[in-house]
Structure 1
Amino acid sequence: MYLSRVEVDSRNRQKIKDLTHLGAYHNWVEQSFPKEIAQKERHRHLWRLDNLGGKQYLLVLSEEKPDIQKLVTYGVTGTAMIKTYDSFLDKIQTGQIMQFRLTANPSRKISRPGQKQGRVVPHITVDQQRNWLIERAAASGFELVQQEIVDEPEAPVSRAFDIVARDWPVLHHKKEHSVRLSRVTFEGLLRVTDVEAFKTTLTQGLGREKAFGMGLMTVIPER
């Protein structure tokens, strides 16, 4: 597998004028794999947008190596990086503590009498969104690690993770129909409890709307 990153050329308004909704970013990601398009064999590509140090980055996890020229279509020239991911996955061990970042779409399915299929609705409040991650940790191969976070010098708070961003980006569907998706970014510490389940989480994503920039978790081992 490959983990790729490119800085979005946010200062060039003309260059990124098409990036007005999540579907446009999805198309950018898909077009970065021209061999798959030619062979009509599409694979799932996890991706997300990160805002770090005043810059925005597109991060992509894929089975195949993307075309670096296509990857930089809306990016800053010279910032695209592609790294193999398998060697990192092979080094993951049970009990290992890691910093994590996850952008996801916390949601749940509700059903009403007489309905064959439930309706998916987003979690709205911070508590709902935090509980969504807590409830999925064990089955996803990890446990959340409590750490002391000093919000105020005299009032330290012990939390396993923080929600560092919440928004409602637009997705344009066909026939001029638009919806807004709940997008939440979590950061914190975790401990690996089940290596294989955790690898599945990292490579297949967590939650819904994976095609539209949700579900990708990245980790950095604590030293």
Structure 2
Amino acid sequence: MYLSRVQIDINDRYKTKDLTHLGAFHNWVEQSFPTEISTGQRSRHLWRIDVLAGKKYLLVLSESKPDLGMLETYGVPGTAIIKSYTKFLAGIHEGQLMQFRLTANPTHTVTRPGKKQGRVMPHVTVAQQRQWLVDRAEKSGFQLIEQVPDNDSEQPATLAFDIVNREWPMLHRKVGRGVRLSCVTFEGLLRVSDVDDFKHTLTNGLGREKAFGMGLMTVIPEA
């Protein structure tokens, strides 16, 4: 596995004029793996957009190395970095405390009378979106950490994570009208409860719309 990052060249509007919707970013990611395209052996690529210190980055998790030049198609020259993720995954152990960042598409299924299949709907409130992550934590191999208030406080314990960004980016599909997807970024603390399930979450993503910038969780071990 490889984790790659490139700074998006937001100051060059001519270069990035095509990056107007999630499908364009998806195409950028896919084109960064020309060997997979030529052999017809495509694998899943998780990706997301991060904004750090006023700079915008494309982050990609993949089974094979992307082409450095293609990864910098819309990037600032010389900013693409590719690192092996395999050693990091091998070092994860049960009980490990980690900072996490996750961009996801929190949804739920609504049952419709007379219909065999329910309708997938986005969660729209902060409370619903927080609960979506809480409901998926344990089966995804981790526990969300509780913040215990001071002894003299009457406030109940709360979970140590926040929603740091909520937006509705556009996705233009090949057929039909474009849609806006709920895109929510979570940050906080977790503890690994099941190593295999947690590794599966890190490498396969969490939630829906993984091809379009959702589902990628990254973690940093607490010192």
Band of TM-score, shorter chain? over 0.9
Q: What is the rounded CA distance, in whole Å, between the counterparts of 1:62 and 1:187 in structure 2?
A: 22
Alignment partner, residue 120 of structure 1: 120
Q: What is the rounded CA distance, in whole Å, between the counterparts of 1:175 and 1:196 in structure 2?
A: 38
Alignment partner, residue 25 of structure 2: 25
1:198 matched to 2:198? The reply is yes
Secondary structure class of the residue paired with 1:208: coil
Residue deviations 1:115-139 (CA, integer Å, cap 9, x gap): 1211110000000000000000000
TM-score, with length taken from structure 2: 0.95
- 5+ residue gaps, structure 1, are 150-154
TM-score, with length taken from structure 1: 0.95
Letter of the aligned partner of 1:210 in structure 2? Answer: K
* Structure having the larger proportion of residues in strand: 1
Letter of the aligned partner of 2:94 in structure 1? Answer: T
Letter of the aligned partner of 2:13 in structure 1? Answer: R
Alignment partner, residue 42 of structure 1: 42
Alignment partner, residue 152 of structure 2: none
Alignment partner, residue 92 of structure 2: 92
Shift of 1:211: 0.2
Shift of 1:148: 6.7
Secondary structure class of the residue paired with 1:43: coil
1:140 matched to 2:140? The reply is yes
- 5+ residue gaps, structure 2, are 150-154
1:13 matched to 2:22? The reply is no
Secondary structure class of the residue paired with 1:189: strand
Q: What is the rounded CA distance, in whole Å, between the counterparts of 1:110 and 1:209 in structure 2?
A: 18
Letter of the aligned partner of 2:109 in structure 1? Answer: K
Q: Percent identity?
A: 67
Letter of the aligned partner of 1:164 in structure 2? Answer: V
The number of residue pairs the alignment matches comes to 218
Residue deviations 1:160-191 (CA, integer Å, cap 9, x gap): 20000000000001246110000000000000
Letter of the aligned partner of 2:163 in structure 1? Answer: I
RMSD: 1.5
Q: What is the rounded CA distance, in whole Å, between the counterparts of 1:177 and 1:38 in structure 2?
A: 30
Alignment partner, residue 111 of structure 2: 111
